[in-house]
């Protein structure tokens, strides 16, 4: 519910009662509404490999991964899962499971090696072949245009997303994709997790292109944590609006597809029932999901961001606001976990820097009084809180008038332990319970609460190169043997999903 307090609307967090699931087949595809889409998800840089083949240009992640000390296990994605060459077999794996769709990204630098200029026909040919193979096997392509792999040439030329020129270049690239593939691709996603790459790439410097205020992280050679995340986010949102306008005006009328964006969001619960913590929890949501969804719904950033960031937060013109508002057919949500949130006025370094993490005036942690919020997966940030997905869907329904939502990522990882045998690694009961319980809560959000959710994509089809964590985390339904020609082995979760989808 919403209550008036001090002139601001403050969300009173009523957490949905968690529906207890177990590892049995309690739910199935038929539990969900007709037409609900089930799929798996991936990205070009994490999967394709072949980074120097068929005219592909270098990306900011190639540069980052080959810089000493940036990746936990000192690995890179030069080969990754080699899906560039092995996609036929991977498509068969999806087909055998009964999946409806595959979400993958196109590598901008395969279409335009320099970000703009001459089209690389070999890259176009590859994606044509890939898309045709998916459709021939009954798998619907959901294509992400940008999944973090900016062409390095644009970073060198004008600092990439920090420059408004990126809007024009991204629009040109996107329109090329609509023209070349849009007769068969009916589901487009402009950006994946702009919040993540704005903060991780330009505030704390832990991801490409590794920019931040030098006082914050000594290994950042350049950057300004107080301003750059907001500039990048602004240019990305304007790029999204530009691309959606082109698609709706020139391509959607005859191609009859849909277009959206994938936004990442934790769910947050207040550490206490105090007004200060409840307000801080709302700000945590504002500076995570609200930062990007509110311009698309209302045409502007959240009020809390305007108030707290001030002149460092760029402003939209009236025409930009009008173009942004309603610039989607669906909103993708990438959701994995839930943390606690509380008021924070003691982040001295953050306050001095005025960086985006400190600007919210909220602290978020997966602990309360030293006790974790729930059981943890492998990643230090990923705690398994199934009711969080129901709470988040209800929050979006209530605050943003129930837009069409697709869960474009949800999943958990195991450690890549060299002492664990493949046989034991395939026994992923924890992953089965994760998906069963999250899906059970998602189903309740749809059927009991009326949330407008139409699809669910598992992250991920295969174990993959996991950005700064390298190969240390295994998110896949299929185990990839990095020591034996990247052979794929079905984990027990594959059998669970096959039963779920075909029973």
Residue 485 main-chain phi, psi, to 5 deg: 55, 30
Mark whether 409 is an active-site residue.
yes
The mean-pLDDT minimum among 87-101, 189-203, 356-370 falls in: 356-370
Domain interval for residue 367:
32-502
Rounded to the nearest integer, the mean pLDDT of the chain is: 94
pLDDT in tens, 404-440: 999 999 999 999 999 999 999 999 999 999 999 999 9
Output the pLDDT for position 355: 75
What percentage of the chain exceeds 90 in pLDDT?
A: 90
Q: Which of 140, 193, 279, 294 is catalytic?
A: 193
pLDDT at position 81 over 60: yes
pLDDT at position 8 over 60: no
Tokens of 59: 């990306």
Instruction: Kindly state the average pLDDT of the residues 245-270.
Output: 98
pTM as predicted: 0.95
Output the pLDDT for position 217: 62
User: Looking at the domain assignment, is residue 17 inside a domain?
Assistant: no
Tokens of 470: 């390298």
Residue 179: count of CB within 10 angstroms of its CB: 13
Mark whether 429 is an active-site residue.
no
pLDDT in tens, 55-69: 999 999 999 999 999
Distance CA 165, CA 159 (A): 10
pLDDT at position 365 over 70: yes
pLDDT in tens, 245-255: 999 999 999 99
User: Looking at the domain assignment, is residue 492 inside a domain?
Assistant: yes
User: Looking at the domain assignment, is residue 376 inside a domain?
Assistant: yes
Q: Which of 155, 180, 228, 409 is catalytic?
A: 409
More confident residue, 7 or 386: 386
User: Looking at the domain assignment, is residue 5 inside a domain?
Assistant: no
Closest CA to 339 of 398, 391, 301: 391
For 455, the 3-state DSSP assignment is strand
For 128, the 3-state DSSP assignment is helix
User: Looking at the domain assignment, is residue 12 inside a domain?
Assistant: no
Specify the CATH number for the domain of residue 375: 3.20.20.80
Tokens of 302: 């959240």
User: Looking at the domain assignment, is residue 15 inside a domain?
Assistant: no
User: Looking at the domain assignment, is residue 160 inside a domain?
Assistant: yes
Residue 363 main-chain phi, psi, to 5 deg: -115, 135
The domain tally of the chain equals 1
User: Looking at the domain assignment, is residue 54 inside a domain?
Assistant: yes
Distance CA 239, CA 216 (A): 29
Output the pLDDT for position 345: 76
For 37, the 3-state DSSP assignment is strand
On the CB side of 480, CA atoms within 13 Å amount to 26
Is the separation of the CB atoms in 190 and 105 below 8 Å?
no
């Amino acid at each position: 519910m919403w209550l008036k307090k001090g002139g601001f609307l403050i969300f009173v967090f009523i957490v949905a009662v968690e529906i207890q699931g177990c590892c049995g087949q309690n739910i199935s595809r038929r539990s969900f509404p007709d037409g609900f889409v089930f799929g798996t998800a991936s990205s070009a840089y994490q999967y394709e490999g072949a980074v120097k083949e068929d005219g592909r240009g270098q990306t900011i992640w190639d540069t980052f991964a080959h810089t000493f000390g940036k990746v936990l296990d000192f690995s890179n994605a030069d080969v990754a899962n080699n899906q560039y060459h092995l996609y036929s077999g991977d498509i068969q794996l999806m087909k055998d499971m009964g999946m409806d769709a595959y979400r993958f990204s196109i590598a901008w630098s395969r279409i335009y090696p320099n970000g703009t200029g001459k089209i690389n026909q070999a890259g176009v040919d590859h994606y044509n072949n890939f898309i045709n193979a998916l459709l021939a096997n009954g798998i619907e392509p959901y294509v992400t245009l940008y999944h973090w792999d900016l062409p390095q040439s644009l970073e060198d030329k004008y600092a990439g997303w920090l420059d408004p020129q990126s809007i024009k270049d991204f629009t040109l690239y996107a329109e090329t994709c609509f023209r070349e593939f849009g007769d068969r691709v009916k589901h487009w996603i402009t950006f994946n997790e702009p919040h993540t790459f704005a903060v991780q790439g330009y505030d704390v410097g832990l991801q490409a292109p590794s920019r931040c205020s030098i006082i914050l992280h000594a290994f950042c050679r350049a950057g300004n944590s107080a301003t750059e995340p907001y500039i990048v986010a602004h240019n990305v949102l304007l790029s999204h609006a530009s691309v959606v306008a082109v698609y709706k005006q020139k391509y959607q009328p005859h191609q009859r597809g849909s277009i959206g964006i994938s936004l990442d969001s934790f769910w947050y619960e207040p550490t206490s029932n105090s007004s200060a913590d409840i307000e801080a929890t709302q700000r945590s949501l504002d500076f995570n999901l609200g930062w990007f969804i509110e311009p698309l719904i209302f045409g502007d950033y959240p009020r809390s961001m305007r108030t707290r960031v001030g002149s460092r937060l760029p402003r939209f013109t009236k025409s930009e606001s009008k173009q942004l508002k309603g610039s989607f057919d669906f909103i993708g949500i990438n959701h994995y976990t839930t943390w606690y949130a509380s008021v924070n006025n003691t982040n001295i370094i953050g306050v001095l820097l005025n960086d985006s993490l400190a600007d919210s005036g909220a602290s978020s942690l997966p602990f309360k009084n030293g006790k974790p919020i729930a059981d943890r997966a492998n990643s230090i940030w990923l705690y398994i809180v199934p009711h969080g997905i129901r709470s988040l869907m209800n929050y979006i329904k209530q605050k943003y008038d129930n837009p069409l939502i697709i869960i474009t990522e949800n999943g958990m990882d195991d450690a890549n332990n060299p002492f664990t045998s493949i046989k034991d690694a395939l026994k992923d009961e924890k992953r089965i319970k994760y998906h069963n319980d999250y899906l059970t809560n998602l189903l309740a959000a749809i059927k009991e609460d009326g949330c407008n959710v139409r699809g669910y994509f598992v992250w991920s089809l295969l174990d993959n190169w996991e950005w700064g964590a390298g190969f240390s985390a295994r998110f896949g339904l299929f185990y990839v043997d990095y020591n034996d020609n990247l052979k794929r082995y079905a984990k027990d979760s594959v059998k669970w999903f096959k039963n779920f989808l075909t029973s």
